[in-house]
């Protein structure tokens, strides 16, 4: 009898555990430097693309196979790789850092496929890919892991080991796949990573090779298809659209390296915002909150009072084209009867207000007081673009778009709470719910938990004591989000599901 999807997951988990075993329950600040020993030293990966196409990815290591200039690939309906239903050969060249990326078409909608590569007589690990269902398909469930922020130097990847072993439909990665500079490593040095800041394309490529050398992320990428967007550290901290014109060479280097090393096919220049439709059950809208955003206003480490400049109606985090695409896509999906709208959202949408100045008493003293006046924690998130946030919320209300679940990264901690039509009014209806899913390995900020009790509006949960990731599960009747925590200082850390949020629609 052939292997099925669950058998494949068990094999992947055993492989990951065996590779991780030497470092179980130990921490290490100076492991050996990365030295590739296999032809496919960064493993394999696949990406969602359409209902008849999948993206396959690998890299042929030139330090191990210097004479290899081509790579074969095969796709099968079984993890045993028999029968083969599609195959081909790709060129391997230094111009793309010896990466191999294939868009395989002509496949059946809504099913798993398995794939492998072969170069120089060596075969890769077998990975799993999936086509999207047909747009009108009726699905009983959808289970996606979502994650972000995986600084290699500040932690191991037990979260990815856990993801590899779970029965999931896919993984959503919301940014900070690499960290371009070493400052974050001072917060929690765990294992060796170069500290010099990335500037050239070779700098960025070196980071991707190192991060993907970890056996646990390799297991997670082989086990499940991925949907990936970037945030800031794929270029540099807190970047915005002005960086593209001020330093076009660095921007081109960073984005080229990202596309080389991610299972994402470019479709229109550097555009990465896109939607993935999972039948009539859910649509995932993946956002780019960097390359179109306006520059920040003056802040102190991101903390800022709401000012007229910050509240300008023309300030944008998404840019006009992406905002129009998002609002139109939400409405169209809602009109088509899709039950759940998921936003793959790199930075927090919900307000994190440390000091509420929009009170009846203060408004009586100053009728010109700005709506939602106060002191905000992070103007790099949507708190720095309040007019655009209001535009999105107003659209959800006016178009009667329900079932919106926001999956968020960036903040290195777990957050859960409603997005209300008017967050000054705790009885105002919730138009969406937001769930920030921690960080894979980047240091959590314990001080955020201490702030939680004083925030206005209140959040249902703030936990900055652990690393980890989230799982969102959709059924026709409800959506459930779970938070899973680890201690990334230890390669063999156990994984604990510490919070669950069931929500009927």
- Residue-wise pLDDT for 402-436, tens only, equals 889 999 999 999 999 999 999 999 999 999 999 99
Closest by CA to 374, choosing from 353, 395, 359, is 353
- State residue 446 phi and psi, 5-degree precision: -55, -30
Complete domains list, the chain, with CATH: 5-30+133-504 (3.60.21.70), 42-132 (2.60.40.380)
**What is the C-alpha to C-alpha distance for residues 114 and 132, in angstroms, rounded to an integer?**
15
- Residue-wise pLDDT for 8-61, tens only, equals 554 555 444 433 333 333 333 334 457 899 999 999 999 999 999 999 999 999
Q: Mind giving me the DSSP string for 452-496? A: GGG-SS--SEEE-S-EEEEEEEE-SSEEEEEEEEE-TTSTT---E
pLDDT tier for residue 447 given thresholds of 50, 70 and 90: low
Q: What is the pTM of this model?
A: 0.94
Residue 490, number of CB atoms within 10 A of its CB: 18
- Residue-wise pLDDT for 322-380, tens only, equals 999 999 999 999 999 999 999 999 999 999 999 999 999 999 999 889 999 999 999 99
Closest by CA to 462, choosing from 497, 495, 426, 438, is 438
Give residues with Cβ within 8 angstroms of 395, minimum separation 6: 327, 330, 331, 401
- Residue-wise pLDDT for 106-120, tens only, equals 999 999 999 999 999
Structure token pair of residue 258: 């990202």
What SS3 state is found at 141?
Answer: coil
């Amino acid at each position: 009898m052939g292997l099925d999807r669950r058998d494949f997951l068990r094999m992947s988990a055993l492989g990951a555990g065996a590779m991780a075993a030497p470092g179980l329950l130990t921490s290490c600040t100076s492991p050996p430097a990365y030295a590739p020993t296999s032809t496919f030293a960064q493993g394999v990966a696949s990406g969602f693309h359409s209902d008849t196409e999948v993206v396959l990815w690998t890299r042929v290591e030139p330090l191990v196979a210097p004479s290899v200039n081509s790579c074969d690939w095969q796709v099968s309906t079984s993890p045993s790789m028999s029968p083969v239903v599609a195959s081909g050969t790709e060129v391997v060249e230094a111009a793309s850092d010896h990466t191999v990326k294939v868009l395989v078409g002509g496949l059946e909608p809504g099913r798993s496929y398995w794939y492998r590569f072969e170069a120089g007589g060596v075969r890769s690990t077998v990975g799993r890919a999936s086509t999207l269902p047909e747009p009108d398909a009726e699905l009983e469930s959808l289970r996606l892991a979502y994650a972000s922020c995986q600084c290699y130097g500040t932690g191991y990847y037990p979260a990815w080991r856990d993801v590899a072993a779970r029965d999931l439909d896919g993984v959503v990665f919301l940014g900070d796949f690499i960290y371009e500079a070493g400052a974050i490593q001072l917060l929690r040095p765990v294992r060796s990573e170069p500290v010099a800041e990335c500037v050239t394309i070779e700098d960025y490529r070196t980071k991707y090779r190192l991060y993907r050398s970890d056996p646990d992320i390799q297991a997670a990428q082989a086990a499940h298809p991925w949907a990936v967007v970037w945030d800031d550290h794929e270029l540099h901290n807190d970047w915005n659209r002005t960086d593209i014109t001020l330093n076009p060479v660095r921007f081109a280097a960073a984005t080229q390296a990202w596309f080389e090393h991610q299972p994402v096919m470019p479709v229109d220049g550097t555009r990465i915002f896109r939607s993935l439709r999972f039948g009539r059950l859910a649509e995932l809208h993946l956002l780019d909150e960097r390359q179109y955003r306006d520059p920040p206003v003056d802040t102190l480490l991101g903390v800022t009072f709401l000012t007229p400049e910050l509240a300008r109606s023309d300030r944008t985090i998404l840019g006009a084209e992406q905002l129009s695409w998002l609002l139109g896509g939400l409405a169209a999906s809602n009109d088509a009867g899709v039950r759940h709208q998921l936003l793959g959202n790199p930075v927090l949408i919900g307000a994190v207000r440390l000091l509420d100045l929009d009170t009846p008493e203060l408004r009586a003293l100053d009728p010109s007081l700005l709506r939602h006046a106060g002191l905000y924690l992070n103007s790099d998130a949507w708190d720095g673009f309040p007019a655009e946030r209001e535009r999105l919320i107003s659209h959800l209300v006016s178009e009667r778009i329900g079932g919106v679940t926001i999956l968020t990264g960036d903040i290195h901690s777990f957050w859960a709470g409603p997005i209300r039509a008017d967050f000054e009014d705790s009885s105002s209806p919730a138009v969406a719910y937001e769930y920030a899913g921690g960080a894979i390995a980047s240091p959590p900020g314990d001080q955020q938990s201490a702030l939680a009790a004083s925030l206005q509006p209140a959040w249902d949960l703030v936990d900055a004591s652990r690393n980890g990731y989230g799982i969102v599960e959709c059924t026709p009747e409800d959506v459930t989000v779970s938070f899973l925590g680890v201690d990334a200082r230890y390669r063999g850390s156990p994984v604990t599901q510490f919070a669950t949020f069931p929500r009927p629609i």
